[in-house]
Structure 1
Amino acid sequence: MQVHVADHPLISHKLTVLRDESTDSPTFRRLVDELVTLLTYEATRDVRVEPVDVQTPVAMARGVRLTEPRPLVVPILRAGLGMLEGMQRLLPTAEVGFLGMVRNEETLEAVTYAERLPDDLTGRQCYVLDPMLATGGSLAAAINFLVKRGANDIIAITILATPEGISRIESDLQGVDVPVTLVTAGLDDGLDERAYIVPGLGDAGDRLYGVAD
């Protein structure tokens, strides 16, 4: 798996404000939206395109357009929804699927509880959205889910990641012959005893939408 930590002053600035526990939910949502747009620019450097000719007011010009099948954006519910609009701002023609996964707080394993995806993803380039790569269980399970349906290029976009999470994905994906890239705004120190990212920014879902009991 290739790992790209986006190194840009605007990304670092917005991530710092996200970390601040005094940042309220509306501001948090806006900053996540802006941050994901910046990360999308980094993550789509290898988006698949094909040549096309267009008529300008002056002459014909050679350009490119997104290939078919269109990219598929897959936010992992629920926190991944907060990243979707920022992604769509740069990829408005991409199709969107949904994958509901939750971490069992006792076993720390990911459990799939809902999905809305095409049955056949053969040849598709997929972008997976998940704010926090902590233990790596949810993201690894999501990637394996897409691979089994035929996806042949997967780019995961996260706000934060940990060495433990990256190692877990690399371990779980051994033998998977599909290119996987991780694009993240920050690589943090690690996990605490509750498997929370340190220093992290808390529970991304709760900070985006409030606490749902």
Structure 2
Amino acid sequence: MSTQSLPGVTVVDHPLVQHKLTLMRDKETSTKTFRALMRETATLICYEVTRQLSMDEVEIQTPVAPTRAKVIAGKKLVFAPILRAGLGMAEGMLDLVPAARVAHIGLYRDPETLEAVEYYFKTPEDIADRLVIVVDPMLATGHTAVAAIDLLKKRGVRDLRFVCLLASVPGVETLRAAHPDVEIWTAAVDPQLNDHGYIVPGLGDAGDRTFGTR
């Protein structure tokens, strides 16, 4: 794991993560394989983003003797995938933390303005008391991520992290400018966006590639 020179960004450079990301970038990768790779990579990144969770000690009885052992402290996590592409990553993260709660954030990017438009937002009632990990495969312009975090903060959430497969430098700068308290975990940071707001070199539209809609 390494920290990108951009402040607040952690690039997960584990060889398995980087290998799987390369396969996802390849335009010849099938929908089935892309979907599986996204799920697997999300699980690996989730391992890193949860590394610093607080722990408590509890008394338990092993088959041999009583002992004190560590458990995660506090309330369960909330994974907050941005629909629809974030669902594929959330599934992989739930494989690692199956007891986590799930919030759903429905946003799409207007093709003309590239701004985020809300169409659905559903969270656990006590989300303000929980660590929330926002999940979206691509941090491109950053507008969707900013809008999602805006919505969560309006619900009182203060402990937030953002996880993506791939980020752009402009997207990171936009998100960090709007929410400097929210750290980012990603597999890579690409340098730029094209005229359509796609990350370059990127991997295309993660939603379309996950669900086979293009």
After TM superposition, the score normalised by the length of structure 1 is 0.93
- 1:67 maps to a residue whose letter is A
Structure 2 CA distance, aligned partners of 1:161 and 1:53? 43
In structure 1, which of residues 13, 20, 28 is the aligned counterpart of residue 26 of structure 2? 20
Give 1:193 shift: 1.1
**Count of aligned residue pairs for this structure pair:** 208
* Alpha-carbon shift at residue 120 of structure 1 (Å): 4.3
Aligned position for 1:89:
95
2:102 touches 2:124 (CA, 8 Å); kept in 1?
A: no
For 1:3-43, what per-residue CA distance to the aligned partner results, in whole angstroms no more than 9, with x for missing partners?
Answer: 10001111110000000000000000011111111100111
**Which residue is equivalent to 2:201?**
199
Distance in 2, matches of 1:142 and 1:62, equals 40
1:201 partner amino acid: L
Name the residue aligned to 2:3. Answer: none
Asked if 1:127 corresponds to 2:133, the answer is: yes
Q: Deviations along 1:122-155, whole A, 9 cap, x unmatched? A: 2210011100000000011111211121212111
- Written as runs of structure 1 = structure 2, the 5 A alignment for 1:1-213 is 2-173=8-179, 179-211=181-213
Greater alpha carbon shift after TM alignment, 150-159 vs 127-136: 150-159
Distance in 2, matches of 1:146 and 1:90, equals 23
Cα distance in 1 for partners of 2:153, 2:209 equals 31
Gaps (5+ residues) in structure 1? none
Q: Deviations along 1:77-119, whole A, 9 cap, x unmatched?
A: 0000111221011111111110100011111111110011134
Q: Which one is further off, 96-105 or 116-125?
A: 116-125
Secondary structure, counterpart of 2:112 in structure 1: coil
| Cα RMSD, aligned residues only | 1.4
Deviation at 1:170, TM superposition (A): 1.7
- Identity of paired residues, percent? 46
1:155–1:117: structure 2 CA closer, same or farther, 3 Å change rule? same
Aligned partner letter, 2:29: T
Q: Is the 8 A contact 2:142 2:172 kept in 1?
A: yes
